[in-house]
Structure 1
Amino acid sequence: MGGCAGGAEVSKGSFKPDYLGIDTVLLDGSLVNIRVAMKGARGDKDVIAYARCGAAQYALIRGFGFARNVRTTVAERGGIWRGDAVYTISPALPKGVDTIDAEVTVSDCGAQGIPTV
Structure 2
Amino acid sequence: MTGLRLALISLAALVAACADSGETRDELPFTPEYQGIETRLLDGDLVQFLVEMRGARDAGDLEDYVECAVAQYTLIRGYGFARHLRTNVEEEGGLWRADAVYTISPALPRGLRTIDAEVVAAACRENGIPMV
Q: Same fold (TM over 0.5)?
A: yes
State the SS of the aligned residue for 2:122: helix
Could you tell me which residue of structure 2 aligns to residue 21 of structure 1? 36
How big is the shift at 1:78? 1.4
In the alignment, which residue of structure 2 is the partner of 1:70? 85
Q: Is structure 2 residue 99 aligned with structure 1 residue 84?
A: yes
Q: Where does 1:1-117 land on structure 2 (aligned, <5 Å)?
A: 12=27, 14-117=29-132
Gaps of 5+ in 1: 1-7
Show structure 2 runs of 5+ residues with no match: 1-18
Counting matched residue pairs gives 110
Task: State the alpha-carbon separation in 2 of the partners of residues 69 and 46 from structure 1.
Answer: 16
Q: Which of the two has greater strand per residue?
A: 1
Measure, in 1, the Cα distance between the counterparts of 2:116 and 2:87: 18
Q: Which has the higher helix share?
A: 2
1:95–1:10 Cα change, 3 Å: closer
Relative contact order higher in (CA < 8 Å, ≥ 6 apart): 1
Q: Report the secondary structure of 2:72's partner residue.
A: helix
TM-score, scaled to structure 2: 0.79
Shift of 1:13: 6.2
Q: 1:89 to 1:41 in 2, by over 3 A?
A: same
What is the one-letter code of the residue matched to 2:108?
L
Q: Give the TM-score of the pair, scaled to structure 1.
A: 0.89
Q: CA deviation at 1:66?
A: 0.2
